[in-house]
Amino acid sequence: MNRRKFIGQTITGVAASTIGIPTIVPSSVFGKNAPSNKINIGQIGCGRIGRDHDMPGTMQHDIARMIAVCDLDSNRLKDGKLHVENYYQKKTGNNKYVDVKMYDDYRELLLNKDIDAVVISTPDFWHAQPAIEAALAGKDIYLQKPTSLTIAEGRLLSDVIKKTGRILQVGTQQRSSAQFRIAAELVRNGRIGKLHTVKVGLPGDPSGPAAPAMPVPKGFNYDMWLGSTPEIPYTEIGVHPQVGYGRPGWLRVEQFGAGMITGWGQHHFDSAAWGMDTEYTGPTSIQAVAEFPKSGLWNVHGDFMVKADYANGVTMYTSGGFPNGIRYEGTEGWIFVSRGDYVASASDPVSQAKSSKALDASDPKILTSVIGENEIHLYKSTEQHGNWLDCIQSRKEPISPAEIGHRTCSVCLISHIAMKLPRKLTWNPVTERFVNDDEANAMLSRTQRKPYGTNYIKM
């Protein structure tokens, strides 16, 4: 039996014994002062967002110990190991604090019983499948956004998390930034009157050059990197830089994602839903216009406008023409919220200067209004990775759980579908289907290339 077949059968066996079983707390989290009182972490994906954001964001917390890394690029894998070990050496003064294990296949990492939880910092099209398999293997999960590539994947992921009782935190870290919570609380408590309009600002992407096929770099498993998406020739600007950790080109290729509507869209739609009180539902209709490149490798949307109507009477507009952030408009004023000068990585696509004011309002008194004891108080977290680790111990729901992540990502994905279809679409957020529109419903899933994809996970 070859290694790949063995891994697949073993994961399936773990799934059969895990799904439906009450939540099991990893043994490593017991004992307040014991040496074993660490949550052992496996890092899946050692690229830009992993190195700049998720790895340091997790390792800064003493309760976590990153003991394994995984990547399909051997250079990034080796670099990831050094990155973790050097971090701990500087933090502890001990150059032998941890000997990080390396894996070139995340399924092998999931078989390691010493690992309690995983951080998934892979490209967008490699989010749902490893998260589902991690849950079935009994691991808790920190999952980078967007939650899924399709609505069908996202629904399956949320359902599996619910059945297995695993703790999944989506990497929508704006929820752990105070200004986004404060803005949502003020709106939910009527400080701008009745909310009627939300304007979300996020950019599009530029077109790119044509890119001839190139030899696959030595030590890079390109076939597995492509995963469930169609087989196409390798080219560096369609994948990631071979030198350095700059913004990868796959972010601008529709085969691998939807562009900024899912990239930053899941962040802002998540925050907007917090203030709109629509976290567990979605719009009832959606329509959009967008420009797409006519040539070149990079083919995700450029300039765009999306209009989404909700059952509660709120209309949300999304466009690169608005300042980057979220503006809530009510009958008695408005509130604007953005990241301010925060960046997740050095190559974030929006300059700090363009969104430097983190919180603003039509009347400054709105922002100093005190939320009373009997008013709505939203979930408070000071750091996304830390909240996840706390919830692994307590088994309480994290601030960005799977179902909210799926619902937010769904708004991104149906917005992208609306960009492709020149008409108003009616959406049923209960059935998660378009009403009387077979063409639009056909876009809720994608064909998956065997053996990769959520269609081929045996439950």
DSSP string, 311-364: TTS-EEEEETTS-SEEEEEETTEEEEE--TT--SSTT-SS-GGGG---EEESSH
Cβ-count burial 204-231 (b if 16+ within 10 Å, e if not): bbebbeebeeeeeeeebeeeebbbbbee
**How many other β-carbons are positioned within 10 Å of the β-carbon of residue 37?**
15
Q: Based on the domain organization, do 116 and 196 belong to the same domain?
A: no
pLDDT score recorded for residue 459: 83
Burial of 94 per CB tally in 10 Å (0-12, 13-18, 19+): exposed
Q: Based on the domain organization, do 335 and 278 belong to the same domain?
A: yes
Q: Based on the domain organization, do 31 and 147 belong to the same domain?
A: yes
Q: What is the pLDDT of residues 249-269, one digit of tens each?
A: 999 999 999 999 999 999 999
- The Cα 85–Cα 335 span in angstroms is 44
pLDDT score recorded for residue 144: 98
pLDDT score recorded for residue 5: 53
User: Is 384 a member of any domain?
Assistant: no
Task: Return the closest-CA partner of residue 385 out of 28, 149, 41, 32.
Answer: 41
Q: Mutual orientation of helices 265-276 and 402-420 as an angle, nearest 10°?
A: 110
User: Is 346 a member of any domain?
Assistant: yes
Q: Which two tokens stand for residue 100?
A: 């990080």
What total number of domains does the chain contain? 2
Residue 297 belongs to domain spanning: 175-206+257-373+403-444
- On whether the CB atoms of residues 283 and 412 are closer than 8 A, the answer is no
Q: Based on the domain organization, do 267 and 199 belong to the same domain?
A: yes
Q: Based on the domain organization, do 88 and 128 belong to the same domain?
A: yes
**How many other β-carbons are positioned within 10 Å of the β-carbon of residue 165?**
18
Q: Which residues of the chain have pLDDT under 70?
A: 1-36, 341-356
Q: Give the domain-ending residue among 173, 197, 223.
A: 173
Q: Which two tokens stand for residue 114?
A: 């010493």
DSSP code, position 303: S
pLDDT score recorded for residue 14: 46
- On whether the CB atoms of residues 183 and 446 are closer than 8 A, the answer is no
Peptide bond into 209 cis (omega under 30): no
pLDDT score recorded for residue 371: 97
Q: Based on the domain organization, do 46 and 108 belong to the same domain?
A: yes
Q: Based on the domain organization, do 143 and 185 belong to the same domain?
A: no
Q: Give the domain-ending residue among 149, 173, 197.
A: 173
pLDDT score recorded for residue 227: 98
Phi, psi of 198, rounded to the nearest 5 degrees = -125, 130
Whole-angstrom CA distances from 205 to 47, 73, 302 are 20, 26, 5
- The Cα 241–Cα 46 span in angstroms is 13
Provide the 3-class DSSP secondary structure of residue 405: helix
- The Cα 384–Cα 172 span in angstroms is 8
User: Is 391 a member of any domain?
Assistant: no
Q: Based on the domain organization, do 312 and 341 belong to the same domain?
A: yes
Q: How far is C-alpha 108 from the chain's CA centre?
A: 23
User: Is 454 a member of any domain?
Assistant: no
Q: Based on the domain organization, do 123 and 93 belong to the same domain?
A: yes
Cβ-count burial 357-395 (b if 16+ within 10 Å, e if not): ebbbbeeeebeebeeeeeeeebeebeebbbbbbbbbeee
* Torsion sign across C-alpha atoms 87, 88, 90, 96: negative
CATH code, 153: 3.40.50.720
pLDDT score recorded for residue 30: 44
User: Is 226 a member of any domain?
Assistant: no
Q: Based on the domain organization, do 161 and 107 belong to the same domain?
A: yes
* Torsion sign across C-alpha atoms 424, 429, 435, 439: positive
Q: How many helices (H) and strands (E) does the chain have?
A: 15, 15
- Which residue shows structure tokens 């390792």? 59
Q: How far is C-alpha 85 from the chain's CA centre?
A: 26
Provide the 3-class DSSP secondary structure of residue 337: strand
Q: Based on the domain organization, do 330 and 352 belong to the same domain?
A: yes
User: Is 217 a member of any domain?
Assistant: no
- On whether the CB atoms of residues 395 and 39 are closer than 8 A, the answer is no
Q: Give the domain-ending residue among 129, 158, 173.
A: 173
pLDDT score recorded for residue 378: 98
User: Is 313 a member of any domain?
Assistant: yes
CATH code, 339: 3.30.360.10
pLDDT score recorded for residue 33: 36
Pairing of strands 425-428, 433-434: antiparallel
Phi, psi of 44, rounded to the nearest 5 degrees = -105, 110
Q: Based on the domain organization, do 134 and 186 belong to the same domain?
A: no
User: Is 199 a member of any domain?
Assistant: yes
